[in-house]
Amino acid sequence: AQSVTQLDSQVPVFEEAPVELRCNYSSSVSVYLFWYVQYPNQGLQLLLKYLSGSTLVESINGFEAEFNKSQTSFHLRKPSVHISDTAEYFCAVSETGANNLFFGTGTRLTVIP
């Protein structure tokens, strides 16, 4: 069975500062990895995903995540955050070819002006 650990429940950061949201997973099989973002009072939106190929994946709004198989991690980074990045970020994993997603407990990113 898979599991996902997001150690940081809350991350406050000043505007234009860099941020890293940590995600570690455990699985005995190959996995796909995802980051979803949930803005206040909205649903989950896919931010980026790793399925195969390059271990560094990027989103259109400046976030990136790197799949590290040896460390079983998929940390999310952004070099300079904006106020609009304030949201809850969920890391998720699924077995390759499987149906359901396993989510972490989420990290609330708060960008301080």
Partner 1 sequence: EPEVTQTPSHQVTQMGQEVILRCVPISNHLYFYWYRQILGQKVEFLVSFYNNEISEKSEIFDDQFSVERPDGSNFTLKIRSTKLEDSAMYFCASKTDTDTQYFGPGTRLTVL
Q: Which residues bind partner 1 (CB under 8 A)?
A: 32, 34, 36, 42-46, 49, 51, 90, 92, 94, 96, 99-106
Alpha carbon distance 26, 19 (integer Å): 23
- To the nearest whole angstrom, how small is the minimum distance from the Cβ of residue 16 to partner 1? 30
Q: Which C-beta is closer to partner 1: that of 15 or that of 94?
A: 94
- To the nearest whole angstrom, how small is the minimum distance from the Cβ of residue 77 to partner 1? 21
95: which strand partners?
31
- To the nearest whole angstrom, how small is the minimum distance from the Cβ of residue 80 to partner 1? 27
Closest by CA position to 106, among listed 33, 8, 25, 39: 8
Instruction: Please give the full DSSP string across 10-58, using - where no structure is assigned.
Output: EEEEETT--EEE--EEE-SS-EEEEEEEE-TT--EEEEEEE-SS-SEEE
Q: Which C-beta is closer to partner 1: that of 15 or that of 95?
A: 95
Q: Which C-beta is closer to partner 1: that of 55 or that of 105?
A: 105
For 99, what's the count of Cα atoms within 13 Å in the CB-facing half-sphere?
Answer: 0
- To the nearest whole angstrom, how small is the minimum distance from the Cβ of residue 90 to partner 1? 6
Q: Which C-beta is closer to partner 1: that of 3 or that of 80?
A: 3
